[in-house]
Structure formats: structure tokens, C-alpha cells
Amino acid sequence: MLLCDVTQIAPTLGGAGDAVNASDREQFEEFMTSRWAGLVRLAFGLTGDRWLAEDLAQTALASAYASWWRVRRADDPDAYVRRILINASKRRLRRRRVREQPAATPPETAVSDPTTMVDERSALLGALQELPPRQRAAVVLRYWEGLTDAQAGALLGCSGGTVRSQAARGLAKLRASGGLGPDDAAPRQQAGGTR
């Protein structure tokens, strides 16, 4: 569910949102509705925070709406919007300037769920948050989103080889993480697997 109508906030971003006609707006609304869950999932993988993930997804969609004429003419509008989201996430990290220190153990969740899947997911998310941002992005794009090295490289602005090396380093750190057991949820596919 969308928290607000991004078509209302897009003109405040300095784009051409107010010039979007009714048929373009309808086309964008269909695009936005069908892509929302995937964008939130990607943002959640990058941030580990559900609410921040929704904020980033809304920011990406608002920016896409502000320049919808350019997005819809792109070779791959989904990749274009994913790139907007990744850039918004990077800007968020640059603005903060405070170096985060990961906790020794992931914080307890407010709702305790005894199932093993939830515990494994929490451990994996905690371990992901300990990775440097580029390694985290490479691992999330390759193994969470299932993108190829070339697709992930295009989104991150680097080569497929850089994505493979960042993903390999990230996977090595995840496997060495004390929070993940030998059978936990670290991706099992090798970093150079799908190209």
C-alpha cells in the first residue's frame, strides 16, 4: 500500500510533474502500483529498515513521476527507477556523515516469533547491515533481486567484474559472520555464477 500519492509531491521535486497529462498519469499510476512491492523489497535489502525502505521507494517513484516522459522512453524503465532508488539510498548515506557502528548482536525485535525462518532472516539482515554499502548493494542486487552481473553493474555504475568481486567479498564476510550458522540463509550461489 502506498503511503501517499507521489503524483502530488512530484512537482515539489523540481521536475516536470505538473506537465503530465491525464493519460500519462494513468500510465504512471499503473506502473507505480505494479512496481511498488519490488522497489520496497530492494530498498529493504539496502537499508534493513522497513519504514526507510518505503520512504526510499516513494522518493524514487516521485522522481520517476517528475520525469515520467524520460523514464517511459528508457530502454528499461524498471532499471531506470531502480537506479533512482539506489542513488537516493546513496544520498541518504552521504547526508548522514555519521559512521555507524554495528552492534555486537542484532537488536531484538519487538514481536518475538519462535519460527526458525524469522530468526534466520533476522540474522541475515543483521549480517547484511555489517557489510560496506557497495558490497551490500552487490549482494542484494545479485542474490536478493536475482539480477545478472551486467544488470547490477549498470545500476551501480560499475562493470560486471566489479559486481562479481564486491559480491564475492560480501559473501565471504557473510559466511564468516558469527551470526550466521553453516546452514543459514547466506546465498549459496557463487559470486561469478550467472552472467
* Residue pLDDT, tens place only, 49-108: 888 899 999 999 998 888 888 888 888 888 889 999 998 888 877 655 555 666 777 666
> In what helix (H) or strand (E) does residue 6 lie, and over which residues does it extend?
helix 6-9
Q: Do residues 32 and 63 lie in contact, with contact meaning Cβ atoms separated by under 8 Å?
A: no
b/e per residue 60-90 (b: at least 16 CB within 10 A): bbbbbbbbbeebeeeeebeebbbbbbbebbb
d(CA 114, CA 117): 9
pLDDT at 39: 92
Q: Do residues 144 and 115 lie in contact, with contact meaning Cβ atoms separated by under 8 Å?
A: no
* Angle CA 63–66–70, to nearest 5: 95
pLDDT at 54: 92
- Look at residue 30 and tell me whether its pLDDT is greater than 60: yes
Neighbours of 174 (CB within 10 A): 24
d(CA 145, CA 137): 10
Q: Which domains does the chain have, with CATH numbers?
A: 6-96 (1.10.1740.10), 116-176 (1.10.10.10)
